[in-house]
Amino acid sequence: VVIADDEIGSPLVKNPPLAIALNLPSFDKYEEVLAPGGTLIVNQSMVDRGAKRDDINVIFVPCNEIAEETGDRCLLNMVMVGALLAAFPDLKLDEVKAALKAHLPARHQKLLPNNYAAMDKGFAHAKANSSRAVMVLQQANLFPEFSPYPADKPPKVSGYTDIRTQL
C-alpha cells in the first residue's frame, strides 16, 4: 500500500520504509529490500529465524496464536494490521476501525467486534514488543518466548545497560 498526499503515479516501491511479512518467503524478500531504518512487521508464527540485518527495526508478532485466541484464525491479517498501526503512527487505530465500519455492508457489521479485538491485540503486542527495554530482555533470553535476535548479533540499543553483564 502506498500512502501519499499527491497523486500516485506508480505504486511500485523499491525500498519501502515499512513492510509486512506473513511468512518466511516474504520475510526473506522484504528484509533484503527494506530501506535502512525501516520497520518490518513479521508473523512470528510462520518464521523460524531472526533478522539478518541490523539496520532495520523488526517486530515479531505471533499472529496465528493471537488470532486463535481471538476466536478465528482467519483474523491473523487483522492482528497484523493492528501491529502495523503500532509501528506507523500516521494512521490511528480508531480511524482505521471507523473506516472499516463505514466500508463494511450492514450484513457484515456483526464481524466488527472480533476484527476490532484482533487489531487491538496485534497493536498491543507490537507496542509491548517494540520497546528497547523488551528487546534487551529478549536478547538476554529472560523471556521464554521466541527471541528474534541471533545470539551473536544482539540488537543495537542506546541508552540501556546490557543486563546480561549484571546477572
Q: What is the pLDDT of residues 77-124, one digit of tens each?
A: 999 999 999 988 888 999 999 999 998 999 999 999 999 999 999 999
Q: In what order do the strands lie in the sheet with 39-43?
A: 18-21, 39-43, 57-61
**Residue 42 is which amino acid?**
V
Res. 17: pLDDT tops 70: yes
- pLDDT of 156 above 50: no
* All three cell numbers of 131: 520497546
Q: Which pLDDT score is estimated for 161?
A: 35
- Under the banding of pLDDT at 50, 70 and 90, the label for residue 2 is low
d(CA 162, CA 13): 37
List, in order, residues 6 or more apart from 68 with CB less than 8 Å away: none
Cell numbers standing for residue 79 = 492482528
pLDDT tens per residue across span 58-68 = 999 999 999 99
SS3 for 78?
A: helix
Q: 111 to each of 66, 99, 114, 115, 116, how far by Cα in Å?
A: 17, 14, 6, 6, 9
68-90 pLDDT, tens digit each? 999 999 999 999 999 999 988 88
Predicted TM-score of the model (pTM): 0.71
Query: Can you tell me the distance from the alpha carbon of 7 to that of 39, in angstroms, rounded to the nearest whole number?
Result: 24
